[in-house]
Each structure stands twice: as structure tokens, then as C-alpha cells.
Amino acid sequence: MTDRMGTEPSLLTPHGKIIEIQVTDTDILFMRRFCENPEGKPVLMVHGAIEDSHIFYSESGKGLAPYLARQGFDVYVADFRGHGGSNPSISRESRYGQYEMICEDFPAMIQTVRRERGNVPVSVVSHSWGGVIVSSSLSRFPEMRKLVSSLVYFGSKRSIRARNLKKFWKINLLWNIVGSILCRIYGYLPARQFSFGADNETKGYFRETVQWIRPGNWIDPRDGFDYASAVKETAFPPALFIAGAGDKCLGFPGDVKAFIDEHGRSQPFQFLLLSKQNGNSLDYGHIDMLTGEQAEHDHFPIVAKWLLGPTL
């Protein structure tokens, strides 16, 4: 883990305190704190690929982060390097990938919350590929597991095994082929400019994720670290994995369950399927499981209860 990281609170906004995290000489991560109860249970939220932290909140005060803050939690929502409010934004000159997110960004986020709150265990909520970063980092750095009390994964999968038209369009064609062409042309993945993502990704990140979403070895392409073996030897904190019945590709329920299995069946994990059959207002998809109008009534209370004491 990096030791070059520092924090500097910059200002207060209607949504709370903004914190800057210096992870390199040139890279600063953006973190926003939603808090109505400074003594509340701390929760860190991390986003997935081709998105930023706005998956957890809107400027009008909607979303999981403001909801949990109203329930008394102390919520920290972070942008990975180059995303959202982090500086500088991703460009042709960006030379980092998911390796830096695993080894530097996520550990820096955890340590920042600890500095803000002291010796209090942190719960971590992730969406999509953010969950892969979280699991990878916790398995790679055993000392960091002691700092995390519970986990919630929204639509997180490591590999994509789903077989349907959405998977062919979004992964086989758009991500693998179009994404590769755009990276060669632009030097990074301009997902935002081409309207298939909320934020861009570096060429290195794109290439590293392409290897992992194919069913097979879960090994770091940079230094050969074997995450597949490490996660099975890791005693993870209790975790709630959430999938939407309407998610046919990016968080397909079968792929979420496969991600659970990769961690080992003896782990204290539970699975929640958001569907009409299970009493939800709709069969949720990959994005509306966090942004949908009914989410605050359907399953956000379940998440809040889990974070207070992991059980369904």
C-alpha cells in the first residue's frame, strides 16, 4: 500500500464535507462526506467501471448515500483516480489501471475514513466492478481486513458468463471490440463522449478488465498476484451480495453468484435478488437498483439494517 497519501478537507457543500486525497504527486482523489450524525457508523462507497460516485447520490439529494445519512450513518462517497471530481481527469497521458485502484486508491480511501473517524471499523458498499476492486484489495492486504466490518456488493461480478443478446451487444461488441478500437484511436476509453458510460477509463484499466471478465484465471496481469487463491484464503467480513432480476448482463444474477463462489462457500455471505417475485416493485436492473425511485422503499432499508448488524 502506498504511503504517499494525505488528506486535505477543502470546503463544505449542501451535501457535506469534501475531502481531497493525494495518492501521487499529481493524482488527487475526490471524496464527499454525507453526515447528519458525526458519531454514526462509517460507510465507504466505491463505484464501478465507466461511472463515478454519482451512482450513489444526485445533486438533488436522492440516492443511497443521502438516504443512509438520514438514517444516522456517516457516509463517505469516493471517486477513483481520474473519475468524477478526482484530478486530473483521464486522458491519453493517464498511465494507471485497476492495479493502482487495488493497491493505492482503495487503501487510501479506507485510511482517510479512519483518520476522519478514528479507530472505528468501516463498512464498504460497492457497485459493479467496484466490488472486484474491493475484494481484490482486501485479499491482497491482510492488514486492511481488520479495518472493515461488513460489505455490500450491488451487481458485482468478476467474470461474465451470461449468454443473451444484451451480453453480446454490451460485452462482445461494444466493450471488447469497439472499446479496443477507441483505446487505439484516443489513447483511453472515451465512454462518456460516446454515451455508453458516465465516465471514461484509461487504456490500462480497459485492457486489464477485459482479461478478467472472461471466465478463467483471476490473476493480476501486472505482477502475477493470484487473487483466485488469495480470496479463498481470506476471512472476509460478512457480505451482502445484491443482484437485480432484470439485469441480463452487467450484474447478471448467475454471475453474481459465481463471484460469491469464487470467494469460497464458507464465507459469511448472503444473496438478495431484487425482483417482483420477492416482493419488490420491479425486476431491478444494473443501474436502477441504486437510482430507481422505489429503491428507497424496496431495499435501501434492508441495506441499512444489514450495515447496522449483518443479517437478513
Q: Quick one: three-class SS letters along 34-74? A: EECCCCCCEEEEECCCCCCHHHHCCCCCCCHHHHHHHCCCE
CA 54 to chain centre: 12
Tell me which residue of 142, 78, 149, 143 sits closest to 120, measured CA to CA: 149
Q: Name the architecture of domain 6-308.
A: 3-Layer(aba) Sandwich (3.40)
Alpha helices in 71-188 (DSSP H): 98-100, 106-117, 129-140, 142-145, 165-167, 179-186
Q: What is the pTM of this model?
A: 0.94
Q: How far is CA 3 from CA 83, 111, 147, 186, in A?
A: 21, 10, 17, 32
> Where in the chain does DSSP place strands (E)?
6-13, 16-22, 28-35, 42-46, 74-78, 122-127, 148-154, 188-189, 201-202, 239-244, 269-274
What's residue 8's pLDDT? 44
Tell me which residue of 299, 312, 310, 279 sits closest to 68, measured CA to CA: 299
Residues contacting residue 117 through CB under 8 Å, at least 6 positions apart: 42, 74
Domain boundaries, the chain: 6-308
Residue 219, judged by CB atoms within 10 A of its CB (0-12, 13-18, 19+), counts as middle
What's residue 1's pLDDT? 42
Low-confidence stretches of the chain (pLDDT < 50) are 1-14
